[in-house]
Structure 1
């Protein structure tokens, strides 16, 4: 028991000493200094090497020692025969007491002459080109002088110049009561020209654009008494106009009529590639496979045919198609879709040679403007 108590006393003394409050000096919490202050370690600290010191290990060599140095810089040695001809901005000529300065800011200035008057007669007056005058001069060629016989016949609306040469060579044309077979003959204003025994006259060119309705035949006359497009333009002009190309009886849209045979030949000849746009309405939706076939081209009875462009009409059912084509074959658009098993419910020509149906109701006609005539004549 004595050992036990003695051990307990020893432990209590140890515990009292272990929790004894530690005494700190005033310098214990002093902030340690870093940087250039003396280090507590005996190791030598790193000293950064200084660069760019002004002291150099060599002496600067004097540049061009043969020159004399001044405060403003280096200067050549004095030369009594040297003449300074330099001037800021360029070389300056030596002074001339007889020199007269005639220059002026902005250019050369002539001496003042109180009697001087400006002559504007050399200026060519500006004249704005008038296309209306140009067209009238072309149309009035027959009234002012002679003209070739084939052109006279073409201007009368009979046929084109090329076909006129065939009729002339065949003896179908008379001039002043005599058969004329000379192709280069020039008609005088006083000559009387007959074609197949009927007197013809060169007329002023007329260009009529018709928005053809359904149920009219594209011909000048019909033996069965059916309605023709000529009935729609009977009051348009007294000239003998003919339709350019043709539209089927159920087909609607733009049709041009004119007595200009040369222009009619140009617009219908396949080499000129006159573009036409049709709005097609089918009996059912056009399958995409058939759409691709038409786009790539199909083989018909009279040969291969490929459209210039085909597309579905925007915001319309898939049975409404837009077709652009330049071929002039008979019923070509209808035959393309019929070949693929479709039936056309509506076919409308909305564009012809750049002409549109704008402000032209169905069954009405209008005359072309002078600019539209020029555009048609400029088709290559």
Structure 2
């Protein structure tokens, strides 16, 4: 694994702010390879160096997995010179150099997105062959007909001829507003919006609420994020 700053690694693995991690180092409570660490910015490699922190169960982690409630207007990218990205919203205590969003949500789409530095995990989550369903709720301009529901469930063909895998769909209305709840296991470009268009309706608002058996934490405000627990990681692939 690549080297990183000691204070950053301590903050990440001990669930501390960067400031508290630096204080711990300054107080002489952190050792690297048996020697007291003197500088917060010293480079360390958690796969090669032995790191100890007094009062903490320091268990180095190779990867990190973050749940975010993506707000509208933020893009699903690692870096962009002109637009705010989901990585820009990750607090310092959770940041690593190689973070990226596991999959994409359109700029105007909100809800659950996973941020990680684990490429194998991302491939497993996104590949249709692993059958990890993603659930969306969409406000739509016109109600779905029974025929449209049947088409989606059997595998709808988009207006440009692209064929979609069979999906799960529920059509309903609340207070005069039309909705559809859709579960898909692939991620074609603007897929939900294009599926709606092929059914003669338009997506007005779109939100992802679930991946696998993992639901978005309702306590997370738009733009907020937190690390996933081991149990939540298992939920992502529970229905594989």
Which TM-score band applies after superposition, normalised by the shorter structure?
0.5 to 0.7
Equivalent position of 1:254 in the other structure: 112
1:197-242 Cα shifts (integer Å, max 9, x gaps): xxxxx9632111001011011001124x111111111434132321
Q: 1:354 aligns with which of 190, 194, 213?
A: 213
**Shift of residue 372 of structure 1?**
1.7
Q: Report if aligned partners of 1:218, 1:243 keep a CA contact under 8 Å in 2.
A: yes
Q: Report if aligned partners of 1:307, 1:323 keep a CA contact under 8 Å in 2.
A: no
Q: 1:320 aligns with which of 167, 176, 179?
A: 179
Matched, 1:238 2:95: yes
Matched, 1:330 2:184: no
Q: Report if aligned partners of 2:67, 2:226 keep a CA contact under 8 Å in 1.
A: yes
Q: Report if aligned partners of 2:63, 2:116 keep a CA contact under 8 Å in 1.
A: yes
Q: Greater strand percent: which structure?
A: 2
Equivalent position of 1:264 in the other structure: 122
Q: 1:229 aligns with which of 82, 86, 90?
A: 86
Give 5+ residue unaligned stretches, structure 2: 1-12, 14-31, 33-44, 50-59
SS in 1 for 2:192: helix
Question: Quick one: structure 1 residues 316 and 267, their matched pair in 2 at CA, closer, same or farther if it must change by over 3 Å?
Answer: farther
After superposition, where does 1:30-109 map in structure 2 within 5 Å?
Answer: none
Equivalent position of 1:83 in the other structure: none
Equivalent position of 1:370 in the other structure: 230
1:160-192 Cα shifts (integer Å, max 9, x gaps): xxxxxxxxxxxxxxxxxxxxxxxxxxxx948xx
SS in 2 for 1:310: strand
Give 5+ residue unaligned stretches, structure 1: 1-135, 137-142, 144-155, 157-187, 191-201
In the alignment, the residues of structure 2 paired with residue 327 and residue 362 of structure 1 have an alpha-carbon distance, to the nearest angstrom, of: 25
Q: Report if aligned partners of 2:134, 2:212 keep a CA contact under 8 Å in 1.
A: yes
Q: TM-score, structure 2 length as denominator?
A: 0.67
Q: TM-score, structure 1 length as denominator?
A: 0.44
In the alignment, the residues of structure 2 paired with residue 328 and residue 351 of structure 1 have an alpha-carbon distance, to the nearest angstrom, of: 14
- Count matched residues: 185
What is the RMSD computed on CA atoms of the aligned residues? 2.9
Q: Report if aligned partners of 2:156, 2:166 keep a CA contact under 8 Å in 1.
A: no
Q: Report if aligned partners of 2:112, 2:208 keep a CA contact under 8 Å in 1.
A: yes
Matched, 1:303 2:162: yes
**Shift of residue 280 of structure 1?**
0.9
Question: Quick one: structure 1 residues 296 and 238, their matched pair in 2 at CA, closer, same or farther if it must change by over 3 Å?
Answer: closer
After superposition, where does 1:149-298 map in structure 2 within 5 Å?
Answer: 189=48, 204-223=62-81, 225-239=82-96, 240-298=98-156
In the alignment, the residues of structure 2 paired with residue 241 and residue 321 of structure 1 have an alpha-carbon distance, to the nearest angstrom, of: 32
Runs of 4+ more than 6 Å apart: none
Greater relative contact order structure (CA < 8 Å, 6+ sep): 2
Q: Report if aligned partners of 1:213, 1:362 keep a CA contact under 8 Å in 2.
A: yes
Matched, 1:343 2:202: yes
Question: Quick one: structure 1 residues 319 and 366, their matched pair in 2 at CA, closer, same or farther if it must change by over 3 Å?
Answer: same
